[in-house]
Amino acid sequence: MLEFIQQGGIVMYILLAASVLSLTIIFERAWSLRRSVVIPLTEVKFVEKAVREGDVKKAMQSCQSNNTAMSRVLWVALSNRGVRRSVMKEILEETGRQEVAHMDRFIGVLGLIAAIAPLLGLLGTVIGMIEVFQQISLVGVGKADVLAGGISKALNTTAFGLSVAIPSLVAYRFFESRVDSFVLEIEQHAMRFVELLKGERA
């Protein structure tokens, strides 16, 4: 493996760093975007039950004790109860944007890695092919084994670049979709609580 990386030169080291960064982000986002961390349904049901029973203070304490995206949105809704419905929606939309930004962290970096990794791999291959042609100019085309070895080394970076890009792209699309689904669900819960709190309508 070490020889494989060394053959690719500096481009291969850049790709290796990109692969480590990509894996780190994938594991971090997979841990941070668990349902139990974003929208714990048991917590939502508990808060809803407390509100229906008229114990808003208990509901707010529950939200404060749970550091999740949904509990933060619900806490804002509860702390602004009684305001006009249109104002409540604006407040929740602003809070929602902050939560979306929090959930979207580092996902864009995965998309960037997925885009540039194949190009870096291609750059490494082009550099390798230039070196092969320089060898041809020096020793001619008689030594096929030398040329084949040089071409093989040149293609290593393309293979590695694709190996980094493909899982990064899959993870990028997966996390993007997951965040979108969470945002939609948070909006649905938040709107239900707006109705539940019976804010004054405009």
- So what's the pLDDT on residue 44? 87
pLDDT confidence band for 199 (50 / 70 / 90): very low
d(CA 33, CA 98) in angstroms, rounded, equals: 15
pLDDT score of 202 more than 60:
no
Give domain limits for the chain. 2-196
Mean pLDDT of all residues in 172-194 = 90
- 42 near 53, Cβ under 8 Å? no
> What does the pLDDT read at residue 41?
87
Whole-model pTM: value is 0.81
pLDDT tens profile 159-175: 999 999 999 999 999 99
> How far is the C-alpha of 76 from the C-alpha of 64, rounded, in Å?
10
Per-residue pLDDT reduced to its tens digit, 51-66: 888 888 888 888 888 8
How far, in Å, CA of 128 to CA of 142, rounded? 19
